Structure 1
Amino acid sequence: MTVDDVVPITAPASASIEVLAAGQPDLWFELPPGFTEFDLGEDPEERMLRMVDAVDRLFAEVASEQKFGFVVAGEYALRTLIAAGAEHASSCLLRMPDGRLSQGTLCVIVENPVVGPEDQDRRGVATRTAIQWREQDPDAEVGLIMLPYGPAAVCIRDQDLRIPGGIFGLNDSIPTSTRQVQFCVPLRTSPGSALFTFMTEDVEHWAEYLEVVSGIMKSVSADEPDMESLQVSDSPDAGGTEGQI
């Protein structure tokens, strides 16, 4: 199966992340079809109710238990990312060829370390990050890549998590396994790095998700994208957005 076989639920857009004192975006990136950006200040209960409504509307034929588990797992991941200081968070919602619901979460965190002369060398920052990741998790796939925006460290690893049972109304926590890819992108206009993290429980379709995330990383730019060039559609089966940092 290829990424073209899946059906996205939203249309294209862009996002940006602001890290400068003047409040101007340091970098931009494009969110492909299927991604919806979250308001990080939104009330969690309202957000979950909105997600439930969206899933009910788009996947009416899916069993209630599956839809409930999907929403709760996504909300737990989102709360964890917000608590970690996420500047951007979005959810990817796809329908696989077999009709199954599939979801992934993207977040971007800006890291501002103590500035030293070595922090001006962007490739050096990416290299040191890759070395640190490899030391922390010898089983992870770690390397360096060159994006259009500049050098970046990349890390792919599996994680076993336990979702608090209270979110489900249960006493015991719920075990789950996720796969995630992280990109540490040293910033051009200020010290620090943007840490992009994408995670999903749908390991079966990891190759397709990795293709989608690779497209996002290739779109990272210091320049705001031309939104008129993005094929935005009002159809629920179209897809994409814009992000900024």
Structure 2
Amino acid sequence: MTDGAAEPDLWFELPPGFAQFGLDEDPEARMLRMAEATDVTFGDTAAAEQKLSLIVSGEYILQTMIAAGAEHVSSCLVRMPDGELSQATLCVLLETPAMGPEHQDLQSSAKRTAVQWSELYPDAEVGLVMLPYGMAALCIRDQELLVPGALFGLGDPVPATVRQVQFCVPLQTGPGSALFVFTTQDTDPGHWPAYLDMFSGIMKSLSAVKPEDERRPGRRNPDAEGTERRI
């Protein structure tokens, strides 16, 4: 919860496999924790080079999002139905206008964001989705990154292609939006449906009301890491 805030504005649920990170956590300690989690989860079934690449690239993405002002960062390591190891990160940023009306037209705000994304990213898949929380703008695109080679012990930057899914959700509690950014290096078409199901489940769990009982009957994922905090 943000310092000084009395009540959460937006809650969401993380499915099993996601681990949340402290925003002020030491990057080295975070990578070591991720390495330990990877070894426990996958043992010798994934090559050391593959696990290193996933952890280092994921850490670079997390650091980039934290520097951009993320309110939440988490990561998942999962094994796909075909047995392949896969990793993704979730970052949530809060976008608030410097000045503006106390209340906003949520649908109009989402539509404006979709139009802006269409103009900025002509090759992206852009649209609008109706979530239980309200209308949101959606953008799916592939992005080329240059990961600093020093993270791999190399001199030159390491190119990486990532797929990014962004949901811009206008807030019900006041002006501004929550930007959910899912990023993965796994662009395998066969794996993408599993990720879409995962991301959709998180977005469908958005709520402006704190759950009265996190393990109440009917909760969609009773074994999840937890329901998240205000963003």
Q: Structure 2-normalised TM-score?
A: 0.90
Distance, in Å, in 1 between the alignment partners of 2:76 and 2:36 is 16
Matched, 1:214 2:213: no
Contact 2:100 2:175 in 1 (8 A): no
Q: Please tell me whether residue 105 in structure 1 is matched to residue 94 in structure 2.
A: no
Report the CA distance between 1:24 and its aligned residue: 2.0
Secondary structure of the corresponding residue to residue 228 of structure 2: strand
Alpha-carbon RMSD across the aligned residues, in angstroms, is: 1.8
Rounded to whole Å, the distance in 2 between the matches of 1:232 and 1:131 is 37
* d(CA) in 2 for partners of 1:47, 1:240: 17
| Residue 163 (structure 2) aligned to one of 179, 193, 206 | 179
Instruction: Return 5+ residue gaps in structure 1 as ranges.
Output: 1-16, 234-238
Q: 2:215 aligns with which of 187, 211, 228?
A: 228
Residues 1:243 and 2:210 aligned together: no
**1:36-91: per-residue Cα shift (whole Å, max 9, x none)?**
11111111111111111111222221221111111101111110110111001111
Q: CA deviation at 1:117?
A: 4.0
Counterparts of 1:119 and 1:184 in 2: how far apart (Å)? 17
Q: Distance in 2 between matches of 1:209 and 1:87?
A: 22
1:37 aligns with 2:20: yes
Greater strand fraction, Structure 1 or Structure 2: 1
Q: Deviations over 1:156-188 (max 9, x none)?
A: 111011100011111001111111111111111
Contact 1:36–1:92 (8 Å) recurs in 2: yes
Quote the Cα distance in structure 2 between the aligned partners of 1:65 and 1:206.
Answer: 23
Gaps of 5+ in 2: none
Q: Aligned-pair distance for 1:93? A: 1.2
CA–CA distance in structure 2, aligned partners of residues 232 and 188 of structure 1: 26
Aligned residue pairs, count: 223
Matches of 1:105 and 1:22, distance apart in 2: 26
Separation in structure 2 between the aligned mates of residue 135 and residue 194 of structure 1, nearest angstrom? 20
Distance 1:22 1:176 in 2: 38
Normalising to structure 1: TM-score of the pair?
0.85
Query: Matches of residues 63-74 of structure 1 in structure 2 within 5 Å?
Result: 63-74=47-58
